Structure 1
Amino acid sequence: MKARIITHMNTQHTRELSHYLRHYAGLSARAAAASPAIQDMDLSKMTIATRGGGTYDVPFSPPLSSWAEARPRVIAMDAAAREALGISDVYLTEYAFPRGFDWVPFVGVCFYYVCAAGLPWVVPGSAAWDVLGHVFPGGPEWFRWVVKTIFGIVLAIHLVEVYLLDKWRLQKYGVARFSGLWWAWASNIFVEGITTWKRLDRIIAEKRAQKEEKKH
């Protein structure tokens, strides 16, 4: 039974092992996510190793009276760890592209970034200067002033949104910081803004509904 438990935990529950290491052993999220695996266990503790070569004892408190107690105990320990770490029991595992109205702010902000990047070429005598003189209210001088003036504001707002999405959503729903999935969502909100929150929350709501259905 011990061997089956170790094999099952190491193949199906590495996420939970990282929770144990963070909460009970005090590791950082990055260190705890480095391929955690149970090296050994007895009725009093689990010994969990990580890719970096470290080994950490996570005690059963109180000790198990038999291996039959292992399953409910590790589930309870994970629930306690997640509560302490502020991690949900629903995990975000995929990225979703903008859809419908989401494309409006996405395209709008992309257009602004293109305008900001193109300012060095908006100079007297250039084709852009001539076009803006005909189509932009106030002409090219006003265009340059507006784009330059709001650049810091736009950049600051979107960087704050990246920070808050990471803190309030991505970490809570189990997305490892700086993973591919993390970069997908962080890059998206940096461009798209507030509609990213709504789309992500819809995904989480759907996952939670599915989880509740399985319970019944």
Structure 2
Amino acid sequence: MKLAVFGATGRVGSQVVKLALEEGWEIVALVRDEEKAKQMIKGASLVVGDVTNPEDVKKTLSGCEMVFSGLSTDKTDTLSKAIPSMIKEMKKEGLTRIVTIGTAGILNSRYEKGKYRFQTSESKRKKTFAAEEHGKVYEHFSRSNLDWTIVCPTYLPDGEEQGNIRYEIDYLPIDGKKITVDDTARFAFECLRNSRFNQKRVGICY
């Protein structure tokens, strides 16, 4: 399997790359900092560039079979700018399958119909910029005909796999408080490997 990866040096992205390499997959990662990437994701083929540049995205996708994005908002609108281009280039390359990491804030509110969690008291975060960016990503994918899955973890501390992951389509499981980076990466990788939750948001937690 040949996997294109965006956000490969992020917390979840680097762990997904590690899991894929352990399975013998070939990885092509678009990175900004080549030296950092060489240290963090040894074994991956690197494309040095910018995720908002369609040509760099195209180079990364070329010859791949699936796509993973662990891109974060990083307090900018890079995410919402990059995804439409990514969708467009995937279609050009004949790619359909992508798994991305979102946030529990863009899951449905359990108590206020028609709203995202971040728009209600269910979310404890006072700042909503990141959730708004991820919401735009979800809306872009919803309008596409791609085979997408958005994995939506709640509070995401560093940590090893613990297992016993609870999940629910379009909602955060009741009383979900946290899930580690490594378990989030494992769940996302299994979505890629088993082609699960097609065109769905999936809330995950312990």
Please identify which structure carries the higher strand content: 2
Please identify which structure carries the higher helix content: 1
Larger radius of gyration: 1
TM-score, normalized by the shorter chain, greater than 0.5? no
TM-score (norm 1): 0.22
